[in-house]
Amino acid sequence: MPVSPFLEHWPQAGQNVFLHSSCQVIGQVTLGDDSSVWCNTVLRGDVNRIVVGRGSNIQDLSMCHVSHKTAEQPDGSPLIIGDYVTVGHSVILHGCRIGNDCLIGMGSIIMDDVVVPDRVMIGAGSLISPSKTLEAGMLYMGRPAKAIRPLTEAEIAYLRYSAEHYIRLKNNHLATRNTHEPS
């Protein structure tokens, strides 16, 4: 079963959410309408909360986790993912904030207290070090990632297209699941 409670917290899902049967969604996790969590992905909201926005997708083998609350950091480091975000395969997101209409490239790592504003593309394999605040409308790449250039209008349009493509894909998976369930 892909959904598990932790202590008194059960994951909460909006309407038309797709959870692949191999994913794990644990504890304080809120999934917005039309979001999707794909094969062998883990969202572990045990020591803090995870929020995934409307129309966002977390792709295969990604790991999403948080940092606990401390005296020095009373809110800890929750993981907040905005609306229409595409999180590519094998991404690690840990206690960071991702704005709306972003794309996080495959194999990237975004660490605690990073702030990724709206309309940012992070190239595959990038590493964003703790506590960095990125600039909206930019392409970031590298280990550690650096701003490469402003996004083109076509790239900005692609950010929403990518998320909408995954909405269509998860809708097809949901339709297939519903038509093939045993009676």
% of the chain exceeding 70 in pLDDT: 97
Which tokens in the block code for residue 42?
Answer: 């883990």
Nearest by Cα to 82 from 27, 119, 133:
119
For 64-107, what is each residue's pLDDT tens digit? 999 999 999 999 999 999 999 999 999 999 999 999 999 999 99
Beta-bridge partner residues of 116: 98
| DSSP, res 67 | B
Task: Return the number of other C-beta atoms located less than 10 Å from residue 5's C-beta.
Answer: 11
For 145-183, what is each residue's pLDDT tens digit? 999 999 999 999 999 999 999 999 999 999 998 776 655
Give residue 106's pLDDT: 98
Which tokens in the block code for residue 141?
Answer: 């790449």
Domain count, the chain: 1
Q: Supply the range of the domain harboring residue 67.
A: 3-179
Place of tokens 């409670």: 5
Give residue 36's pLDDT: 98
Beta-bridge partner residues of 113: none
Which tokens in the block code for residue 28?
Answer: 């304080």
Whole-number average pLDDT of the chain: 96
Instruction: Give yes or no for a contact between 94 and 76, defined as CB atoms under 8 angstroms apart.
Output: no
For residues 48 and 65, what is the distance between their CA atoms, to the nearest angstrom?
8
| DSSP, res 45 | E
For residues 119 and 133, what is the distance between their CA atoms, to the nearest angstrom?
14
Task: Taking residues 4-11, report their average pLDDT.
Answer: 95
Q: What is the CATH number of the domain that holds 86?
A: 2.160.10.10
| DSSP, res 126 | -
For residues 129 and 31, what is the distance between their CA atoms, to the nearest angstrom?
26
Place of tokens 């600039």: 135
Which pTM value belongs to this model? 0.95
For residues 168 and 44, what is the distance between their CA atoms, to the nearest angstrom?
26
